Amino acid sequence: MKATFSILKIAMTVLTSAILLAGCQDQESMAVAESTSPGPPAIPVSVTVIEPVAMQDVIFLPGETEAFEDVKVAANTAGRVDWIGPREGQQVNKGDLLAKIDVSALKAALDRAEAAYKLADDLYQRRLRLYEHKIIAKEELDQSETQRALALADLTQIKVQYNHGFPKSPITGIMNHLYVEEGEYADVGKPLAEIVNIDKIKINVQVPELDVRFVKIGQQTPLKIDAFPDRTLMGTIDFVSFKADPATKTFLVRSVIDNPGHDIRPGMIGRVAFVRRVIADAVAVPIFTLIDRGGERIVFVEKDGVAESRSISIGVIEGDRVQITSGLNPGDHLIVKGHTEVEDGMKVIVK
């Protein structure tokens, strides 16, 4: 019995030793595995090499379109409107008759003035012949010449007053609005019609005082009209105000564009681009690569397989690019994909 107990005790001792030995071996294997582990996997990223590029410093300013010529024709005489010529929307040429105002009272005065001038001219011509034959003195000829001049002045004045009853278009354009109709009474100084010329369109913008020095007459200005967002137009500056608006401290600048289709109409909103300067060798990056960290702008670059954060300062913005004035240099490998998944010091792999 004692022999059996001894054998069992020895077996238990051997089993316990084997378990302890296996445990030690597992711990050693885990320690070796931990010591040889490569750490967190590298983050895949895409990079682009920073190279100097040309950029334009552009300012965009809103403005309102207006007709190249916009004229309100006023009545220069009072009277009943007997006839209206072109109607609203119709083309009008310079010199076309717009309306007829009753000037019958002036017609009688005109006839008298014409008769008086004809009589004075005939008298002058007769006395001129008599003077040439030395029949009358020079004073009589001078007196007749003076009478003829006075009669001509009276006739000219009456003609001007009479012709005021037949207003004509001062420009070529489109009849935009009629202020009177046939049978109505026209008064001196009151508008009869509005005529606009939209073969060209003016766009007026207010330029800040710090930027007006970059604007020159004859300068080309790319612009867009809000009503036609897919169309880029090219205007030319034809006026820069010499005096600032006292309220806004801005200067009126006018750009002119061709409008052969008459589809751009006065009163539309446009946006005009003024190039302030050209930067020939700017360090520029896509705007989306910038990350805001508590008000600090940073980008990530790849250097020796590690992500490195750079605090940067920005300058000119052009389209989807922004100029970097400090923090990046030509030749840096800017992370453009995966930049939102890395932190400073992380391992990265470029794909």
pLDDT in tens, the chain (351 residues): 444 444 444 444 444 444 444 444 444 444 444 444 456 788 999 999 999 999 988 888 999 999 999 999 999 999 999 999 999 999 999 999 999 999 988 998 999 999 999 999 999 999 999 989 888 899 998 999 999 999 999 999 999 999 999 999 999 999 999 999 999 999 999 999 999 999 999 999 999 998 998 899 999 999 999 999 999 899 999 999 999 999 999 999 999 999 999 999 999 999 999 888 888 899 999 999 999 988 899 999 999 999 999 999 998 888 889 999 999 999 999 999 999 999 999 999 998
Q: Give the per-residue pLDDT at 23.
A: 47
- Asked if 268 contacts 307 with a C-beta cutoff of 8 angstroms, the reply is no
Helix (H) or strand (E) holding 139: helix 138-163
Task: Name the 3-class secondary structure at 328.
Answer: coil
Q: Are strands 250-258 and 228-240 parallel, antiparallel or unpaired?
A: antiparallel
Q: Which amino acid is at 11?
A: A
Q: Where are the domains of the chain?
A: 60-66+197-278, 73-191, 283-350
Which stretches of 131-190 are assigned E, i.e. beta strand?
173-178, 185-186
> Scanning the structure block, which residue is given the tokens 């446009």?
270
- Asked if 256 contacts 37 with a C-beta cutoff of 8 angstroms, the reply is no
- d(CA 93, CA 175) in angstroms, rounded, equals 10
- d(CA 228, CA 225) in angstroms, rounded, equals 5
- Asked if 64 contacts 201 with a C-beta cutoff of 8 angstroms, the reply is no
Strand order in the sheet with 185-186: 99-101, 79-84, 185-186
What is 283-350's CATH number, 2.40.50.100, 3.40.50.720, 3.40.50.300, 2.40.420.20? 2.40.420.20
Q: Give the per-residue pLDDT at 57.
A: 86
Report the phi/psi class of residue 252: left, alpha or beta, with left for phi > 0 and alpha for psi in -120 to 50.
beta
**Record: fold of 60-66+197-278:** Elongation Factor Tu (Ef-tu); domain 3 (2.40.30)
The counts of H helices and E strands in the chain are 3, 20
Non-local (6+) Cβ contacts of 126 within 8 A are none
- Asked if 126 contacts 160 with a C-beta cutoff of 8 angstroms, the reply is no
Q: Give the per-residue pLDDT at 214.
A: 87
Query: CA nearest 136: which of 146, 147, 127?
Result: 127
Non-local (6+) Cβ contacts of 272 within 8 A are 60, 61, 62, 63, 203, 205, 221, 222, 223, 235, 253, 255
The total number of residues shown for the chain amounts to 351
Exposed, middle or buried: residue 318 (CB in 10 Å: 0-12, 13-18, 19+)?
middle
Q: Give the per-residue pLDDT at 4.
A: 42
- d(CA 322, CA 319) in angstroms, rounded, equals 8
Q: Give the per-residue pLDDT at 15.
A: 44
